[in-house]
Homo-oligomer: A and B are copies of this chain.
């Protein structure tokens, strides 16, 4: 259980937290004056792997901006949990719940040790009505998140497991050509539900992708050619093989 310990020493200098703010996409482009206002109300919080930072149904107290490490956003009741998306350094979560003052739709579980900036939801809601730069930047970040979810829904509705996995791996590398190596952003179990499949299926599907130049070693994955893998995103990935 992460215990809160954000000491809001407004009287003292808030500057010590400013360098962190600069690493968050939500705040980086803001004018210094706006960032300072945020720094005044922000607190830094450590968290450790597999711990829950917040849970579905709770009232929104904070938004979380990841400085180091990250979490999986998890939806659904016990036994039927599914990872919606992974978030890591520079990204923030829960802005929608905070702005609307509605209960969280998802839980957040750490996928590594790390630190996050916590911004009180109430204060943020207040600031957003006074600070154009902040409000506009929130709209832009929310827009990016919206597009990411749209892509995921399209993917789920139009592609099979192998294609989804291939696309996911490619997007995780952040590159688009040549060879690449990546580390999965969570346990295989979690990655599976992020893709809308079961762990067993992920295991088997990863094996199928070996024939397309994908090599697995624990949670590290080596891809021989991103082009080749991306190609099968659109093709009928499922032909059989593997005898002998």
Contacts and interface: CB of A to CB of B under 8 A. Distances in A.
Interface of A: 75-77, 80-82, 84, 95-97, 99-100, 102, 105-106, 128-133, 135-136, 138-140, 142-147, 149-154, 156-158, 193, 196, 234
15 contacts: A75-B150, A75-B153, A82-B157, A84-B150, A95-B143, A99-B143, A100-B140, A100-B147, A106-B150, A128-B136, A135-B135, A135-B139, A142-B143, A152-B153, A156-B196
A26 to B, nearest CB: 11
B128 A139 contact: yes
Contacts of A81: 158
Contact of A96 (B99, B130, B146, B193): B146
A135 B135 CA distance: 5
A131 B102 CA distance: 25
Contacts of A151: 105
A77 to B, nearest CB: 8
A149 B149 contact: yes
A18 B112 CA distance: 51
Contacts of A147: 96-97, 100, 102, 105
Most chain B Cβ neighbours within 10 Å, of A95, A129, A143, A158: A143
Given A96-B147, A105-B147, A84 B154 contact: yes
Contacts of A82: 153-154, 157-158
A140 B146 CA distance: 13
A76 B154 CA distance: 6
Contacts of A193: 157
A11 to B, nearest CB: 28
A140 B130 CA distance: 14
Contacts of A106: 150, 154
A131 B136 CA distance: 9
Most chain B Cβ neighbours within 10 Å, of A82, A136, A140: A136
Nearest to A100: B143
A14 to B, nearest CB: 23
Given A135-B135, A136-B129, A158 B99 contact: no
Given A143-B100, A147-B96, A158 B128 contact: no
A15 to B, nearest CB: 26
